[in-house]
Structure 1
Amino acid sequence: MHKRIGLVVNPTSGKGRGARIGAEVAARLIAQGHEVVDCSDETAAAARDRALAAVASGLDVLAVTGGDGIVNLGVNLTAGTDTALGIVAAGTGNDIARGLGLPVHDPAAAAEVIGAGSTRRIDAARVGDDLADPRWFAGVLGAGFDSLVNERANRWDWPRGRMRYNLAIARELPVFKPIPYVIEVDGVRQETEAMLVAVGNGPSYGGGMMVCPDARFDDGELDVLVLHKISIPAFLRVFPTVFSGAHVRHPAVEILRGRRVRLEAQGIMGYADGERFAPLPLTAEAVPGALRVMVPRA
């Protein structure tokens, strides 16, 4: 079956890897006989507008090439529509692709999935009370120490890459204080001081940090990790264990689960799927089956 496929490429992803992989995927899809509509543009806003128009005109698949940030763009364009989302993982973290068992940095395999794969229904988290214009995420929303580090790092032009994030951690740690939160899950409210709170539709973020290790993309619920107030030395001991998911055994870690989550805190910006997303307070709700995603054929 030949498809009409929109393609959005983040040319800067993976130090230019995204552009190379995107070009190869497009060529392979065309060779398979599919119609490929180029929705890329010089800015993210322009690419979004082009892709939005293409989805409205009728696409079988909207394929996005890059990291989790451009996947988030694709999620926001296809959630609640009949257009399937294709993910060409070409970024650094690729947490959503890895969580869904998709090929990473492999244009031939990605083109095969998009052109001839199956569709899988997964949940997405809808944020905002205005249902006419919601925002969506598919992976993890972080709102605490992690988001403060991102805010600090994003103010700098140098250094590049992971070193900028590491330097931001070093600068944030000496001034960081536990954050007063109000957390409400399915109507059950608690007030607490915590180091961070993360809301997971999927299990990982930040390039393999299994912050919500038991989160599932299709269980109809969101997992909420709360790392309650601990000392900075204790925090530094807990932090490395997040890559294995062992942090959940720490007594200061609480995992909540529900369909509707509300977070309140002063001065905290939520980051979702690696992108600057929305300030707190915010409400996120799991919408079962909101996304159709292209996956390998069984």
Structure 2
Amino acid sequence: MPREIALLTNPTSGKGRGAAARAAALPRLRDAGFVVRDLAGADADESLDLARAAVADGVWALVVCGGDGMVHLGVQAVAGTGTHLGIIPAGTGNDVARYVDLPRKDPGAAADRVVASTPRRLDLARSGSRWFVTVLAAGFDAIVNERANAMTWPKGQMRYNLATLAELRTFEPLPYTLELDGETRQLDAMLVAVGNGPSFGGGLRITEGALLDDGMLDVVVIKPMSKMGLVRTYPKLFKGTHVTHPQYEHHRVRSVTVAAPGIVAYADGERFGPLPLTVESDPGALSILA
């Protein structure tokens, strides 16, 4: 019996690259001998329903075609199950594809990699009944996300740049309560990030050094700094060199509770939920084809 996989596409991902990536990947998967269910939901809720139904039916793998938001959706369906996750990158950030060294600009090559890969286990971060792969943003970066999501113009990265400038004018450090493996700390900070992996937002290495198979979470605190200091530090996130900044603090824990007033946290670039949130490492919860 040939193995069956579900190919789930977000056709609007990456300004329409999702549909083009699906067209390149689908024949490669079928030529490799898989029986492919070709799925696309009208919205995120329908897509998740389709993914969960396919996993419940016992497909060998769920292959998602899109960006980190689509990976996030797929993870909700496969976490803790025997179904493997494959990725055809077609988003703007593609951080999870970066983590596992998948081709990010050649969907045909990514499909070939899925076909040839041996499944490997990665950790996930879990909060209640939801999981994430990359980073939970719970501070200035989350506020920027909220503003950008409320804007209808412009599109793409420029919307985030404008949202950042708008929020920077009035932003003040937030009072946080953190519980790090049971130890409580109260402090003021610009942001707190909880990393399962090292980067988010298309290669911003906020939780530099985080490993995907160590059973630990990396909690980064950026303590109060001037607005110009924040602007100057931002480019260092792309190289992970911000770790030498005196206002940078790093903890490795199995569980963290993050509380701060008025913050809606984001994870994998998706709206995750209002603080407080408790996040735990879920070792080996994801089987990925990479």
Q: TM-score, normalised by structure 2?
A: 0.98
Match of 2:66 in 1: 66
Question: Aligned to 1:259, which of 230, 254, 261?
Answer: 254
1:145 to 140, 146, 149: 140
**Counterpart check, 1:55 vs 2:50:** no
Q: Partner of 1:45 in structure 2?
A: 45
Counterpart amino acid of 2:3?
K
The 1-side partners of 2:274 and 2:27 are apart by 40
1:63-119 CA deviation, whole Å, 9 max, x = no partner?
001110100001111110000000111111101110111121212222122223111
**Separation in 1 of the partners of 2:269 and 2:7?**
21
Q: How much does 1:267 deviate?
A: 0.7
The alpha carbon displacement at 1:5 in A equals 0.6
Distance 2:118 2:2 in 1: 14
Q: What SS is found at the alignment partner of 2:56?
A: helix
Paired with 1:105 and 1:41, the residues of 2 have a C-alpha distance of: 23
Q: Which residue of 1 aligns with 2:34?
A: 34
Q: How many angstroms does 1:2 deviate by?
A: 3.6
Aligned residue pairs, count: 290
Structure 2 residue corresponding to 1:160, chosen from 155, 158, 165? 155
Counting aligned pairs with the same residue, the percent is: 53
Distance in 2 between residues matched to 1:90 and 1:143, nearest whole Å:
26
**Helix, strand or coil at the partner of 1:229:** coil
C-alpha distance in structure 2 between counterparts of 1:210 and 1:2, whole Å: 40
Distance in 1 (CA, whole Å) between partners of 2:268 and 2:2 is: 31
SS at match of 1:5: strand
Separation (CA, whole Å) in 2 of partners of 1:87 and 1:30 = 16
- The secondary structure found in structure 2 opposite 1:217 is coil
Aligned to 2:168: 173
Q: Structure 2: where are the runs of 5+ without partners?
A: none
Q: Which residue in 2 is equivalent to 1:20?
A: 20
1:91-240 matched pairs, under 5 angstroms? 91-128=91-128, 134-240=129-235
The answer to whether the 8 Å contact 1:80/1:291 transfers is yes
Query: Is the Cα–Cα contact under 8 Å of residues 143 and 269 in structure 1 kept in the other structure?
Result: yes
CA contact (8 A) 1:68 1:273 kept: yes
Instruction: Indicate conservation of the 8 Å contact 1:221/1:259, yes or no.
Output: yes
Aligned to 1:285: 280
Of the candidates 241, 244, 269, which is equivalent to residue 239 of structure 2?
244
Return 5+ residue gaps in structure 1 as ranges: 129-133
State the secondary structure of the residue aligned to 1:25.
helix
CA deviations on 1:259-280 (whole Å, 9 max, x unpaired) are 1011001110111001111110
RMSD, aligned CA: 1.0
Hey, what's the Cα distance between the residues in 2 that align with 1:81 and 1:39? 20
